[in-house]
Chains A and B, each alone.
Chain A
Amino acid sequence: MREQFQKFGGFLAGMVIPNVAAFICWGFITACFIPTGWVPNEELAKLVGPMIQYLLPLLIGFSGGRLVYGIRGGVMGAMATMGVIVGSEIPMFLGAMIIGPFAAWIIKKWDNMIEDKIPTGFEMLVNNFSAGILGMILIMLAYSIIGPIVASIATFLGVVAKAIAEAKLLPLLALLIEPGKVLFLNNAINHGVFSPIGVAEVKEFGKSIFFLLETNPGPGLGLLLAYWVFGKGMGKQSAPGAIIIHFLGGIHEIYFPYVLMNPLCIIGLIAGGLCANFTFLLFNAGLVATPSPGSIFAELAMTPKGGFLGVMAGIVIGTVVSFLVSSPFVRAYSGNVDDKSGEDFAKAQQLVKTLKPAKVQEQALDAARNEALATNEARLVKKIVFACEAGMGSSVMAVAVLKKKLAHAGKTGIEVVHSPVNQIPEDADIVLTAMGLVERARKIAAPATRVYGVQDFINSPVYDEVISQC
């Protein structure tokens, strides 16, 4: 179950992570050039809309399709994404994440169906035309259904928000606002509910809490901090840049992809929002108008005199709670895509190996013997795992070899399987892997698991050593 979860998370990440640079780019452009940005520039600000409306969703749709069926799938995904983009007024990140892989899956099934039925010489023609026509059908489908779906969700959110606001259960609004933001549906709530009430309150009291609810940069900051501290690979490395864009630039959209690729994080955001809203209520905090964009500077600028404590308290609480609750989810997701640090590690190991091959093999054997001696009540070996990068070659063959050797030696009841090095099962008693992966395997395997490096997968002396331990 956990493996499936991680696989799904890895898939979601695979759609978003390769495109993080584009998100950051858009974030910087927006933070700089919009009328309320750092360096307003009317001409360059024209980039903001088309990029978030077209470029970013298309990249997501392409990536999603590519994960399912290579470049061909990617092109299908991008095509289908146009359907949801044009069919709705709001940016379609989630829409792209759904339709991209789906479109690729359709073309994959189609290709399988007609595989042997194409007359020779016509392959390119059939491939391109079938993709084009299927693409068109998918676009029309997407276009026709997305509009009504989005509209109904937006209306629903608006109605519920109004009910909650009138019942004075303000903290609960976080349950609607945070998901609404990520799906770009918050405008419905803003215009329909918050603005009218907010304006009326400002007339009467000089400030309104309704201007704080959605614009609080705290929860988003907490999530990005969680990625910076506990994230891996690209997610971790891009977090600082995203924090600047989000907290200092006020462009909250930058944290949306981080939620979309790890949906459970929404729980952290909701928790942060809930606690922040409570805090605002407690301190009777409010702003005089909508801070736009939602940067820390704009928030403070809109705070009435004497209200700084309440506003800051809410922002800080929102950040802390969101960070604490999001962290376990960020940690749990192990995105293997583009794990640069892992690759560099393997490269370094390979280098060491080429310099002193024989010596390292010897050391591995010595270590094996020492470990076996150390564990006097030698743990019963029930599961041996071959770890490999791709699980396509050496580990498959090695499993066959070891199974045969075990049978020859009369040892029964021992499970021998192969697995990708990033998914070594926790109940593995012994792990065998290529020399270049030993360090990584040691990190991933459970502490009590014995890990040995193998150079010759067919005739390794390590095999005999391992068999003697069974």
Chain B
Amino acid sequence: MRFDRNLVFIKNEFLNKEEVIEFLGGQLVQTGAVHPDYVQAMHKREQDIGTYITEGVAIPHGTEASRSLVRKAAIVVVKIPCGVEWINGNKVYLAFGIAGSEEEHVGLLGELATILMDADQKEQLMAAESEDDLFTCLTNNSGKY
């Protein structure tokens, strides 16, 4: 599974994390990856446990119960240059909306994790100025396991 250029965005128009999740969820629905009810499950997951995983990064996704609403695995990426307050005063600049089905998306998430682990690569991501740049960063660096 690869990152999809059509699902990579740079947007600054979000006022809060709910709007970010609404956007990511909407994209997942539009691309046919999930049933519309999945978006609500994403909000619920955020409320229950939260998806902030490391400085500046969040990975909204649905609850365990909403697995059956996922038709195929997909990841939507949105970079938010101004950042959005997420939790405990921490801001998120990079959000990944995830629809997981079986083990399809595991490899891609693993690669994403190793990119974020590497300080240089993470900086590159954060510094990407255009959607094409961002996409290139993600796909070039993944595979450099």
Contacts and interface: CB of A to CB of B under 8 A. Distances in A.
Interface in B42-96: 45, 48-51, 53-55, 57, 59, 61-69, 71, 87-88
B49 A392 contact: no
B114 A390 contact: no
B109 interface: yes
B117 A390 contact: no
Q: Which of A71, A350, A393, A399 has the most CB of B within 10 A?
A: A393
A456 B51 CA distance: 10
Q: Which of B35, B49, B109 has the most CB of A within 10 A?
A: B49
Contacts of A456: 53-55
B112 interface: yes
B62 A390 contact: yes
A86 to B, nearest CB: 28
B51 A396 contact: no
A196 interface: no
A400 to B, nearest CB: 3
B138 interface: no
Contacts of A436: 48-50
A71 B135 CA distance: 34
Given A397-B113, A401-B117, A392 B61 contact: yes
Interface stretch (A62-70, A233-241, A298-306, A314-322): A62-70
A62 to B, nearest CB: 14
A394 B50 CA distance: 10
Given A71-B37, A390-B63, A393-B59, A350 B113 contact: no
Contact of B88 (A72, A354, A398, A401): A354
Contact of B100 (A393, A434, A458): A393
B128 interface: no
B128 to A, nearest CB: 18
B106 interface: yes
A390 B35 contact: no
Interface string A395-416: 0111111001000000000000
Interface in B8-49: 35, 37, 45, 48-49
B68 A390 contact: no
Contacts of B117: 401, 404, 458-459
Given A336-B64, A400-B113, A401-B113, A393 B37 contact: no
Contact of A350 (B49, B65, B66): B49
B67 A457 contact: no
Given A336-B64, A393-B100, A397-B110, A343 B37 contact: no
Contacts of A69: 68
Interface residues of B, number: 37
A357 B89 CA distance: 11
B125 interface: no
B98 interface: yes
Q: Which of B37, B53, B57 has the most CB of A within 10 A?
A: B53
B49 A346 contact: yes
A457 B114 CA distance: 11
A391 B64 contact: yes
B7 interface: no
B100 A404 contact: no
B41 to A, nearest CB: 9
A70 B48 CA distance: 21
A47 interface: no
A391 B100 contact: yes
A331 interface: no
A122 to B, nearest CB: 14
Interface in A424-455: 434, 436-437
Q: Which 4 A-B pairs have the closest CB atoms?
A: A400-B110, A392-B100, A458-B54, A397-B113
Given A389-B49, A390-B45, 17 more contacts: A67-B68, A70-B69, A71-B37, A390-B61, A392-B67, A392-B105, A393-B98, A396-B105, A397-B112, A397-B113, A397-B116, A400-B109, A400-B110, A456-B53, A457-B54, A457-B113, A459-B117
